[in-house]
Structure 1
Amino acid sequence: MFLVPGSGNKPLGREIASITNCDVVDFETRRFPDGERYIRFVDDVPKETAIIVQSFGGAPDDLMVELIFLCKTLQDLGARKLIGVFPYLPYLRQDTRFKPGEAVSAQIMASIIEFASISHILTVDPHLHRISEPNEVFNVPTASLSAMPALASYLKKNYQLKDPIVVAPDVEAAQWAAKVASVLGTDFYTLEKTRLDDSSVRVKSKRVDPVGRDVILVDDIISTGGTIAQVASQFRRKGVARIYALITHGLLADGAYEKVSKAGIDALIMTNTVPNPYCKVTVAPVIVQTLNDLRTSNTT
């Protein structure tokens, strides 16, 4: 096996290669004057299974085109099989048609990945709200990994928690809150969220008594930060001790970090599925464990 680190997260790709002792096969990419993409592998492509690590934060459309070019070129150059490691997968939030005429982007994105000839998919905390399993979207074997145990362990190791309570901002986040609560040995509560538009929400708190306790907010994605900021502000007014937020994918669009900081978050703890300056936890170990399982099961 060898590994190709895509432009969406080269540091994580190289970290995974280092842990697995995989050779890295690199490529060069640039833009033509008219905006078209150029890709060329600068290393020889072995006739072995290729692991392509590509994350899609910040510029998902551009990075998806890069993925297709990489996969098709690897196939042309003799790679035996392609495994897609996609720490953050975009477009899963539009998994149904909310208004007439809308594109169901989750299904379309799955078709694009199928066109890229990927035989296995590994992803971390995918945004599957109305879908129970990723294989309901993808037609290839897909492993849905979670960073929540690692995030919770980091919090437990590095902070002196005071009677913590874990909070999910909506029912979809309850699955992740349950994992965090299990590691911390505490209970969790789920709030009610109504999305008003692309960047604003309304969150209703249930009867939770957080006075004097540390509150741990848990969600898979922070994009504009509207949800986490609103929930943090509500709990801050209730006299909590400290507020922590555990997030897998830190997209941090439109000044999100500053927004949640002003709302009273004491620590925003995120993974490196999407590169940003505030990552505290790496997802490389959980990805490597699954890659090793694929190796030993002879599916690679």
Structure 2
Amino acid sequence: MYTLAIISQARKASSKIYAIIPYMGYARQDRQFLSGEVVTMSIVAKMLQAVGAKKVIVVDIHSKTALNHFKIPTVNVSAIPELAKYFKKLKIKKPFVVSPDTGGSSRAKKFASLLNTDFITLKKSRNRNTGKVQIQSSKVDVHGRDLIIIDDIISTGGSIIKATQFLKKQKCKRIFVACTHGLFVGDAERKIKKAGVSKIISTNTIPRSTSKVDMAGVIAKSI
């Protein structure tokens, strides 16, 4: 609502208003998953357009389908190159990139390519009613390797925790976690580290203690 009010007021001074929304949380509800659910993303898109936004800029939106609800230009900025730059500085020897689910496979592939390494994708299922996550992969060859689990959003940390527990059983070495949007609801960060993660890195789309990657410059270039 605050963003809508600012855009409405800004229209009095300019006809070209760009809405920069680094974390578009509503994108997780871009369609009806269960009967009776509201497609929140559709409503948000209509409101932003109604108050006068002429362009919307987001960072690593959860589902690109969400942008189809807009009738104005949209830009989806990727944080993957910036995250890769950060991890290169850590000088981890031959890290193996892991996507916690098939939906993030292309993200992991791009991240691994920038780090000049390989990647794997785990198979995951989530109960839409309970939110419970299960890793369906049976076995992966990560013995003795340092791993980087890459995801776009970490909320409760359920997927990351399950993936970490599974990978630890495969006798991997250290596990690092990288994400664009670190919500870390409740004590998610503590639970993730307790599961066996050595370090968590996120961008500053949501300011946290884990926010080591600045997206301001990349966003500025997209305007």
TM-score, normalisation: structure 1: 0.71
- CA RMSD, Structure 1 to Structure 2 (Å): 1.5
Contact 2:95–2:147 (Cα < 8 Å) also in 1: yes
With over 3 angstroms needed to count, the CA separation of the structure-2 counterparts of 1:279 and 1:74, relative to structure 1, is: same
Residue in 2 that maps onto 1:79: 14
Contact 1:222–1:251 (Cα < 8 Å) also in 2: yes
Q: Give me the identity figure in percent.
A: 37
List alignment gaps of at least 5 residues for structure 2. Answer: none
More helix by share: 2
Equivalent of residue 6 in structure 2, options 67, 70, 78: 70
State the 1:106 CA deviation: 1.6
Residue in 1 that maps onto 2:115: 184
For 1:215, give the aligned amino acid.
Answer: L
Residue in 2 that maps onto 1:41: none
State the 1:212 CA deviation: 0.6
In structure 2, C-alpha distance between the alignment counterparts of 1:124 and 1:282, rounded to whole Å? 12
Q: Which structure ranks higher in relative contact order (CA pairs < 8 Å, sequence separation ≥ 6)?
A: 2
Residue in 2 that maps onto 1:143: 75
Question: SS of the residue aligned with 1:93?
Answer: helix
Q: Does 1:222 align with 2:158?
A: no
Q: How many residues align?
A: 222
Residue in 2 that maps onto 1:8: none
In structure 2, C-alpha distance between the alignment counterparts of 1:110 and 1:80, rounded to whole Å? 18
Q: How does 1:12-23 map to 2 (within 5 A)?
A: none
With over 3 angstroms needed to count, the CA separation of the structure-2 counterparts of 1:275 and 1:199, relative to structure 1, is: farther
Question: SS of the residue aligned with 1:112?
Answer: helix
For 1:70, give the aligned amino acid.
Answer: I
For 2:4, give the aligned amino acid.
Answer: I
State the 1:109 CA deviation: 1.6
TM-score, normalisation: structure 2: 0.94
In structure 1, C-alpha distance between the alignment counterparts of 2:9 and 2:63, rounded to whole Å? 30
In structure 2, C-alpha distance between the alignment counterparts of 1:282 and 1:236, rounded to whole Å? 30
State the 1:202 CA deviation: 0.9
List alignment gaps of at least 5 residues for structure 1. Answer: 1-64, 292-300
Equivalent of residue 38 in structure 2, options 58, 82, 103: 103
With over 3 angstroms needed to count, the CA separation of the structure-2 counterparts of 1:290 and 1:225, relative to structure 1, is: same
How far does the alpha carbon of each residue in 1:102-145 deviate from its partner, in whole angstroms, 9 at most, with x for none? 1011211211211221101111000116x2xx542211111111
For 2:15, give the aligned amino acid.
Answer: R
Residue in 2 that maps onto 1:152: 84
Residue in 1 that maps onto 2:170: 238
Structure exhibiting the larger radius of gyration computed from Cα positions: 1
Equivalent of residue 253 in structure 1, options 159, 175, 185: 185
For 1:175, give the aligned amino acid.
Answer: S
Q: Does 1:116 align with 2:60?
A: no
Question: SS of the residue aligned with 2:170?
Answer: coil
Equivalent of residue 209 in structure 1, options 141, 144, 161: 141
Question: SS of the residue aligned with 1:155?
Answer: helix
State the 1:275 CA deviation: 1.4
Residue in 2 that maps onto 1:267: 199
Question: SS of the residue aligned with 2:134?
Answer: strand
In structure 1, C-alpha distance between the alignment counterparts of 2:191 and 2:107, rounded to whole Å? 23
With over 3 angstroms needed to count, the CA separation of the structure-2 counterparts of 1:198 and 1:160, relative to structure 1, is: farther
Residue in 2 that maps onto 1:286: 218
In structure 2, C-alpha distance between the alignment counterparts of 1:80 and 1:138, rounded to whole Å? 18
